[in-house]
Amino acid sequence: MIAELSVIIALVIGLTEVAKRALKLPKKFIPLTSLIIGLIVSLICAFDGIVSSVILSGIIAGLSAVGLYSGVKNTIGK
């Protein structure tokens, strides 16, 4: 479960960055975009039959991806 969630978070970070550049999204929509992508990727990759568990994993992945990305960005200083 934890390994799957780590992979999903990495996918969400990458797909959010692709969506941000391709769609030229304003910065205020990035967390919402990440959350939606997290839900979609979780539904596709980690569906184990328990819908509430998959939805919670998607929410965790989406929000973790945003926090991880902004944390690294703030630490590096770009």
Confidence of residue 1 (pLDDT cuts 50, 70, 90): low
Using one digit for the tens of pLDDT, what is the confidence trace for 25-76?
888 888 889 889 988 888 887 666 778 888 888 888 888 888 877 776 667 7
Cα–Cα distance between 41 and 37 in angstroms, integer?
Answer: 6
Using one digit for the tens of pLDDT, what is the confidence trace for 4-14?
778 888 888 89
Closest C-alpha to 64, from 2, 6, 4, 3:
6
Confidence of residue 18 (pLDDT cuts 50, 70, 90): very high
Q: What is the pTM of this model?
A: 0.78
Cα–Cα distances in angstroms (integers) from residue 52 to residues 39, 44, 47, 59, 60, in the given order: 11, 14, 10, 11, 12
Domain range summary for the chain, segments of one domain joined by +: 2-76
